[in-house]
Amino acid sequence: MAVCIKETRAPNSPSGRLYGQVSAEEVSDREMVRHHEVSMSRTRWSLQASLAFLVMFVTLSGFYASGFLSFKHDKDWHFGDPGSSLKTSSVSRKVASTQLKVGKAMEEIQVKLGQSPAESLEEALYQLRSEHKKSSILLLEVAATLDIVQTYLLIKDLHPSFQAMASNLPKPDSLNGTTSTNSTIEQQAIKTAAEQKSDPASVVRSETTKVDMADPMTGEDEEKEEGEWAEEDELQSEKDPLVEYFEIEEIKKYIRSKYNRLGRKNFMGANATYASIGHACVSKKFELEQYMEYDVGEYCSDDWPLGQKLMVHGCDPLPRRRCFVRGPKIYTKPLPINESLWKLPDDRNVRWDNYICKSFGCLAGPNRKGFFKCGECFDLQGHEKPKWTEVTNTSTDADFMLEEVLQMKPGEIRIGLDFSVGVGTFAARMREHNITVASATLNLGAPFNELIALRGLLPLYLSPNQRLPFFDNTLDIIHTTLFLDGWIDHQLLDFILFDWDRCLRPGGLLWIDRFFSKKEDMDDYLYYFEQLRYKRWKWVVTPKVDKDDGELWFSAVLEKPPRPF
């Protein structure tokens, strides 16, 4: 329902909100009561819809508990297999949580039904919009819970029955698009109300505003003045418990929403810029406050290990800081690109304070220490240069040559991502074929990111917890080696693979390079790669001989299908 209201706002308005400046004296007591009844009737309808959904939800849960429903997949994979990310206990908790929320909503509406009618048209409209927004949120909560049950029970034809039930629910005429007695009174009251008279000097703005009520079934929000959105966002920011949780003022300043100076939406369609930090930052309060304690405009502490520790423990993304990062004491010119790919850079171009080895020579030599993953990868000439181009004594059937893979899609591979622990050697090899590859890695005891950059390649400093910063269907190839191995949790691997699938374009290649795990675990891991339903260009599982045949290698080159629908 859309209502046009002539509005006038003064600078000292007590509410600060625009809901129609109409005085109580200009509308009869009977009309006020009718407006309150409109609000209550719509709220009752929303709760009836919520309870109807909840009845179906509890019924389906009972079917599951009694073993009434069963399902079998195309390949005889049952919902109890390793691919199931939902557990009975978590579904039960969600059921109980939703039931509790609906119960509390019922208690609240009973209290509100016993309250006195609104004293003014402004208050009646405010109550109407407030109750509809709460009911919409409750409906979305119930719908989300039903989706979880649908996924857990693997029922494909569940939603049509929801929609049929929703279509049969009784709606007030005002929500069906027709005009009822209540809506007629409401519109008549607004049309006949005289515009509030006030001192012209105190009037900030007087214009026609469109006020749309939220649809409880779709959850679509109402249209508002841009100033209203900013005021509500500012009020929400002031009450944000996360802002008050931290004690360091710099964290509070970063988290608070930053509103546009012109009072209108920016080019991104937002009235403000909202800072983001990882949810685990709350559990790492002490470390984060230590990280954010600095003098604005001065030098930061050389504490990147603390920042990386926060990242890998889920405090990712980290907040920005307003201090200057420390650089090397003497920074020399980097090597030209025709030399930098296979030559170790100048030691003076790295700050070594937080590493055990203090030079690239130490990292590449036999006495290297401080890191263990990718133990020989700083030996660019001896260990790294033959990779993907030469067959060595340690090569196995799981080692694929780069030329062989590129010939699967001649001329189509242009940009990609290497998600590995390394120094960018895969990106260097691709650079020789005029292919741009970003190398995602962390500094695990050695300057991996610094060396990748000094080689003239693009380092991407992110943890496995983070969603890839690429848009959908954009990358030609994703390569990974010696990173996602038998240590990784099944569900985490599932999320990562689907994120890679999101970034790969149709026809793009996923190159799994020497994934390894224990023999008894390999079948469970292979399930997650198989579920992508990619075309198999190469698929090899072979013994990992250095572990007494107790582990297996898995390598594959897979092509993403088109999926046009």
CA distances from 540 to 194, 397, 552, 553 (A): 80, 7, 10, 8
**What is residue 468's predicted lDDT score, i.e. its pLDDT?**
95
3-state secondary structure 151-212: HHHCCCCCHHHHHHHHHHCCCCHHHHCCCCHHHHHHHHHHHHCCCCCCCHHHCCEEEEEEEE
554: buried, middle or exposed (CB in 10 Å: 19+, 13-18, 0-12)? buried
255: buried, middle or exposed (CB in 10 Å: 19+, 13-18, 0-12)? buried
CA 171, distance to chain mean position in Å, is 35
* Domain boundaries for CATH 3.40.50.150 within the chain: 337-560
Which residues make beta-bridge pairs with 481? 513
Two tokens at 501?
């699938």
Distance in angstroms (rounded) separating the CA atoms of residues 438 and 393: 29
Mean pLDDT of 287-293: 95
**What is residue 211's predicted lDDT score, i.e. its pLDDT?**
35
Cβ atoms of 38 and 182 closer than 8 Å: yes
148: buried, middle or exposed (CB in 10 Å: 19+, 13-18, 0-12)? middle
Instruction: Tell me the percentage of the chain whose pLDDT exceeds 90.
Output: 39
Cα four-point dihedral sign 350, 437, 365, 355 = positive
Instruction: Tell me the percentage of the chain whose pLDDT exceeds 70.
Output: 61
Helix, strand, coil abundance in the chain, percent, nearest 5:
40, 15, 45
Distance in angstroms (rounded) separating the CA atoms of residues 57 and 99: 10
pLDDT for 215 beyond 50: no
- Select the more confidently predicted residue: 26 or 246: 246
Average pLDDT value for the chain = 74
**What is residue 116's predicted lDDT score, i.e. its pLDDT?**
60
Distance in angstroms (rounded) separating the CA atoms of residues 1 and 176: 9
Cβ atoms of 123 and 17 closer than 8 Å: no
> Assign residue 505 a region: left if phi > 0, alpha if psi is -120 to 50, beta otherwise?
beta
Please report, in angstroms and rounded to a whole number, the separation of the first and last CA atoms in the chain: 34
User: Per residue in 500-537, pLDDT tens?
Assistant: 999 999 999 999 999 999 999 999 999 999 999 999 99
* CATH 3.40.50.150 at 337-560, yes or no: yes
Distance in angstroms (rounded) separating the CA atoms of residues 316 and 403: 37
Mean pLDDT of 241-260: 84
Mean pLDDT of 65-94: 44
Lowest mean pLDDT of 133-147, 277-291, 493-507, 520-534, name the range: 133-147
Mean pLDDT of 359-370: 86
**What is residue 404's predicted lDDT score, i.e. its pLDDT?**
95
Cβ atoms of 36 and 127 closer than 8 Å: yes
Buried b (16+ CB within 10 A) or exposed e, 463-478: bbbbebebeeeebbbb
**What is residue 14's predicted lDDT score, i.e. its pLDDT?**
40
Q: How confident is the model at residue 55 (pLDDT cuts 50, 70, 90)?
A: low
435: buried, middle or exposed (CB in 10 Å: 19+, 13-18, 0-12)? middle
